[in-house]
Structure 1
Amino acid sequence: MLLGVKKLQVFENEYPIRIGDYRVRYEIDDKTLTVIVVSCRHRRDIYR
């Protein structure tokens, strides 16, 4: 569990990062300590 980071309710095991008008969705693999970027899109398109 990351402090101050909320899981996305729609997507299981994914977290958001806000960068200006863009959003990055990512997953964390706890076993290998790997961050996997799932998607990087404009905020109007990211959750569709």
Structure 2
Amino acid sequence: MPVEAYEPPYRVAVFTTVRTQEQSGYGETDARMEELVRDVPGPRGVTTAG
């Protein structure tokens, strides 16, 4: 079922990473990025792939 559209303007933030064998700091950085996005008024969600 279709969902109601949100009013413009639309904003998208895309963060990409190249992961290596040594993952030092990755978890902490990921958690901090999610905190920052959630503080922006009107976020609709956070999606990760990989």
Q: Name the TM tier (shorter chain).
A: under 0.3
TM-score between both structures, scaled by the size of structure 2: 0.22
Give the helix-richer structure, 1 or 2.
2
Greater RCO (Cα-Cα under 8 Å, separation 6 or more): 1
